[in-house]
Amino acid sequence: MQKINIIGGGLAGVEAALCLSRYGLKVNLFDMKPEKFSEVHKNENLSEIVCSNSFGNMSISTSSGLLKKEMEILDSEVVKTAYSVKVDAGGALAVDREKFSYEMTQKVKKDNNINIVRRVVEKLDNENIWIVACGPLCDNSLTDYLQKEVFDNKFLNFFDAIAPIVYTDSIDTSKGFWGSRYSDDKDYFNCILNEDEYNEFYENLISAEKVKVKEFEQNYFEACLPIEEIAKRGKQTLLFGPLKPVGLEYNSKRPFAVVQLRKENREGSLLSLVGFQTKLTYKEQKRVFSLIPALKNAEFAKLGSLHKNTFIDSPKLLNHFLQLKNRQNIFFAGQITGVEGYMASAATGIFAGMNIALLVKGKNMMNLPKNTMLNGLVEYITTKEGEFQPMSENFGLVEPIKMKNKKLRREKQAEIAIEHMKKWREDYESIIT
């Protein structure tokens, strides 16, 4: 009989284990703690919250609120436990981190279908089913193995370099033009800055507040400099780098400086700021990048970052079920798939678990319903074309609907998503039982 082995008792691995158990399946849940701790894990309990204790907004008209609601429909133990150890934090779902990890660990310990194995997993076999949920700081022994034996020395990244992403409908298109460098293609939106605007942007960029680089991250950023570091090398550097205007003309004239925005998804509802990976604080990113005239009122779907972060090139490696295309006994879940944050990581754990339950019971695996947040995330990480960087939940990933008022539009999108997820769950239950 095939065993189901899960590597990593973090947010994703524990969700997957509890989900598989719910459908009567036995699993081995491996975690290297307390034998070995990553650079940030400190507590020997499972589902450890390593940084902020917030799981994001609770309102369904926000992306993280909708994702949590969808997870609740799928019986998420992370969301259920979070509500049981909630602390006051306005509209956000914040938790007592010690109690949260303790409660999650107790749920796993009390579950007779789950065998917790406390050791480092260094390799995978071909006979059993595996869920790799070893997180953004996966142990080197396993990443070495994956890189050499599974990925042919490609497809594994050790840090992210994320540029901010804005909603297309929030940019001021009168302050730039669609076009591509040296060609007639209309692939980029080019935000124009005149000399004064550039100078103001530059001065604010180099003096803006930055997030501190953690000691264990120091060596990771040599290859990919944050935009503010490029700027510090001299006032002209950006004009020969990310803000260069060469090959672009507007009204037969080359602009002084240009920030290019590139489509992030097929629908074109999201645009990323090309070359703008950054360590500026979130607050400062909003302030400084809004000095680019076309982005004055831009709404950010995602802010930029540079982190140590192990993630795979999911669009090349995984199918829609988070299963390796070329070794179908191996699934991935959690942040290593290129989703970002506690909730998105846990959500992929449930999805992988639900499909493995179908697979083991001899049923066809199921795609998620189109208009949900979780589907948007899974779709993005498994189909993104071109360079792949991690993504967190946002409304640009959900099927668009036509409605002018943003708040009402999001409420409607959330309503549709919830309805479809409920229906999907019912279909799932009728198939699996």
Ligand X SMILES: Cc1cc2nc3c(=O)[nH]c(=O)nc-3n(C[C@H](O)[C@H](O)[C@H](O)COP(=O)(O)OP(=O)(O)OC[C@H]3O[C@@H](n4cnc5c(N)ncnc54)[C@H](O)[C@@H]3O)c2cc1C
Which residues contact ligand X (rule: CB under 6 A)?
7-13, 30-33, 38, 40-41, 50-52, 120-121, 133-139, 142, 334-336, 341-342, 345
Tokens matching residue 189: 């939106």
Closest separation in Å from C-beta 140 to ligand X:
8
Closest separation in Å from C-beta 11 to ligand X:
4
Residues 86/58, Cβ–Cβ less than 8 Å: no
Residues 72/81, Cβ–Cβ less than 8 Å: no
Query: For ligand X, which residue has the nearest CB?
Result: 10
Closest separation in Å from C-beta 222 to ligand X:
19
Closest separation in Å from C-beta 132 to ligand X:
9
Which lies closer to ligand X via its Cβ, residue 16 or residue 73? 16
Which lies closer to ligand X via its Cβ, residue 50 or residue 116? 50
Cα distances from 266 to residues 52, 385, 391, 414, in angstroms, run 32, 9, 15, 21
Which lies closer to ligand X via its Cβ, residue 32 or residue 381? 32
Which lies closer to ligand X via its Cβ, residue 40 or residue 366? 40
Tokens matching residue 212: 């501190």
Closest separation in Å from C-beta 131 to ligand X:
10
Q: How far apart are CA 5 and CA 30, in angstroms?
A: 7
Which lies closer to ligand X via its Cβ, residue 141 or residue 237? 141
Closest separation in Å from C-beta 172 to ligand X:
31
Closest separation in Å from C-beta 70 to ligand X:
16
Which lies closer to ligand X via its Cβ, residue 136 or residue 369? 136
Q: How far apart are CA 83 and CA 95, in angstroms?
A: 8
Which lies closer to ligand X via its Cβ, residue 143 or residue 269? 143
Which lies closer to ligand X via its Cβ, residue 157 or residue 237? 157
Closest separation in Å from C-beta 29 to ligand X:
9
Closest separation in Å from C-beta 116 to ligand X:
11
Which lies closer to ligand X via its Cβ, residue 269 or residue 392? 392
Residues 270/264, Cβ–Cβ less than 8 Å: yes
Which lies closer to ligand X via its Cβ, residue 33 or residue 279? 33
- Amino acid in position 261: L
Residues 346/319, Cβ–Cβ less than 8 Å: no
Closest separation in Å from C-beta 343 to ligand X:
7
